[in-house]
Amino acid sequence: MAQTSTAETNSELIGSHHGQVSAGDIAVGVIVGRTSEFFDFFVYAIASVIVFPKLVFPMHDPLVGTLYSFCIFALAFVARPFGSVLFMAIDRAYGRGAKLTIALFLLGTSTVAIAFLPAYGDIGAVAVWLLALARIGQGLALGGTWDGLPSLLALNAPQNRRGFYAMIPQLGAPIGLIVASSLFAFFVANLSADDFFSWGWRYPFFVAFAINVVALFARLRIVVTPEFSKLYEGGDLQPTRIRDTIRAEGHNVVIGAFAPLASFALFHMVTVFPLSWVFLFTNEGPARFLMIEAVSALFGIAAIVASGPLADRVGRRALLGGSAIAIATFSGFAPQLLDGGAVGEALFMVLGFILLGLSFGQSSGVVASRFSRQYRYTGSAITSDLAWMFGAGFAPLAALLLAGNFGLIAAGAYLLSGAACTLLALWIDGRRPAADRQPD
C-alpha cells in the first residue's frame, strides 16, 4: 500500500473518535463530495450564460459571446482525463489522501481565481486567457477528485439492492444545481445590474471554495476506514496504470463511455442549454428560470431515488435502455415545450428532470459493474471522464449552435443522437457472450 500522507493521518485521528465508519457514513461522504463537485460545476455553468458573455466577451453580440463562453466551458471536460492520469500517479506514489487534498485544493484555487477575474474592459484579451486557464485547472482537479467511494458502496451493496446503492452518488447533481441556481437567483433578483456584474456574481464562487473544504474532510474521513483500506490493499480500489487498464478493459471503457450518453446529453439539455435559450431568445429575466430549474431538480431527486428500486426489479441495463427510448421520444416534442411560454418551459424542465433522474441515477452503476476487480477503480474513473467529455462537455455549445442557426428542433435532434448512441452501445454489449459480461 502507498505510504500514508499527513492529510490521511490527520483525518484518521479525526475519525478515530467515532469508530468504524458505517455504510450510512460512506453514503453521506459520497453525497457531500458529489454535491461539492456539481455545485462548482453549476456555478460556472450559470455564470457562463449570464456573466461571462458580458464580462469577458463584450466585443461580440450576446449569442456569439455565449458560444465562446461555452467553448471555454468545454475545456474542463477535455482536461479531465489528463487530470485522471496525473492524479492516479500521485495516488500510487503518495496515497489517496494526498491525491484528494491536492485535487480539491486545485479545484478550490481555480474556482476562487474565477471570482477575482477582471473584466475584458480592464485587461483586454488577458481576461479570456485567465478564464480559460482557471477552467482547465478545474478540469484537471476534477480528474483527481475520483475517490472510489461509489465503487466502495457498490462493492458493499447487497445482491438485491445494487440499483439502490448505485443511485446514491448521483444525488449530488440535483442538490448542487438547487443550491447554485437558488444562490444566483437571489443575487440576480435583489441586486442592481451594476452591482451584480461588479461583485454579486463573484460570491457563489467563494461559497464553492468553502464547500470544497467541507467535502475534503468528509471524504478523507472515509478513505482511511478499515473497509476502504482492506479493499485498497486487496486490489478492489487500487489504482492501476492507465495504459494497463485500457489494454485489459478497453472494450468495457468504450462501451461504458457511450452507454450513458443519452442521460449525459440530457443532463445539459435541461440545465445549461435551456437557461441560455431563455436568456438569449426571450424577454424573461434569468432569476425566474433559475428558480424553475431549482424546483424541477426536486423532481430529479425523486426520480433518481426511484431509479434504485426500479433497477433492482428490472435490471440497470434494461432501465438505461428504456430511459434512452423515453429520451428519444421526449426529443420529438421537447423543443415545442421549451418554446411554449412559462407553462411549456415548466413542463419541459419537470419532464426532462424526471427522465434525467431515471437514467442518470443508474449510469454510474452500469459503468462500474463492467470491470474486473483489479481494474475497477481506474476503469471507472477513465470511463466517467470520457462519458462526460463526449456526452456532456460539448452539449451546451452544440445545442445552442444548432438551435441558434436552425431553430429549437435541431437541439431536439442532437438529444435524439445521444439516445441513439446509448441504444447502440447497449445493443453491442448485449451481443457479447454472457461469460464476458459482469452481472447486472
What is the full per-residue pLDDT of the chain (440 aa) written as tens digits? Answer: 444 444 344 434 334 444 455 556 667 777 887 888 888 889 999 999 999 999 999 999 999 999 999 999 999 999 999 999 999 889 888 887 788 889 888 988 898 899 999 999 999 999 999 999 999 999 999 888 876 666 666 666 677 777 787 788 889 889 999 999 999 999 999 999 999 999 999 999 998 888 877 877 777 776 666 666 666 666 566 778 888 888 888 888 888 888 888 888 898 889 999 999 999 998 888 999 999 999 999 999 999 999 989 988 888 888 889 999 999 999 989 888 988 888 999 999 999 999 999 988 887 656 556 677 778 878 888 888 888 888 888 889 999 999 988 988 988 898 899 899 889 988 887 776 544 444 44
- 354 vs 332: CA distance, rounded Å: 16
Tell me the Cα Rg of the chain.
Answer: 21
Other C-beta atoms lying within 10 Å of the C-beta of residue 201: 25
Domains of the chain from N-terminus onward? 25-436 (1.20.1250.20)
- 331 vs 423: CA distance, rounded Å: 15
Q: Which residues contact 312 (CB under 8 A, 6 or more apart)?
A: 160, 161, 162, 163, 164
State the pLDDT at residue 228: 65
State the pLDDT at residue 10: 40
Residues comprising the chain, all counted? 440
Query: Of 139, 212, 203, whose CA–CA distance to 176 is shortest?
Result: 212
Query: Of 151, 179, 191, whose CA–CA distance to 377 is shortest?
Result: 151
State the pLDDT at residue 24: 64
State the pLDDT at residue 223: 67
Cβ atoms of 261 and 366 closer than 8 Å: no
State the pLDDT at residue 169: 83
State the pLDDT at residue 377: 79
State the pLDDT at residue 176: 92
State the pLDDT at residue 43: 92
State the pLDDT at residue 59: 93
Q: How large is the greatest C-alpha to C-alpha distance in the chain, in angstroms?
A: 63
Cβ atoms of 238 and 23 closer than 8 Å: no
| Residue 182 grid coordinates | 437558488
- 334 vs 313: CA distance, rounded Å: 29
Q: Which residues contact 24 (CB under 8 A, 6 or more apart)?
A: none
Classified as helix, coil or strand, 370 is coil
State the pLDDT at residue 372: 77
Rounded to whole angstroms, what are the CA distances from 237 to 146, 151, 162, 232, 233? 11, 8, 18, 4, 8
State the pLDDT at residue 37: 82
State the pLDDT at residue 152: 62
Helices 341-368 and 172-190 sit at what angle, rounded to 10 degrees? 150
N- to C-terminal Cα distance for the chain? 30
Can you say whether residue 363 is alpha, beta or left, with left for phi > 0 and alpha for psi between -120 and 50 degrees? alpha
- How far does CA 267 lie from the centroid of its chain? 9
pTM score, whole prediction = 0.86
- 32 vs 253: CA distance, rounded Å: 27
- 131 vs 119: CA distance, rounded Å: 10
Can you point out the beta strands (E) in 134-236? Answer: none
Classified as helix, coil or strand, 174 is helix
One-letter amino acid for residue 273 of the chain: F
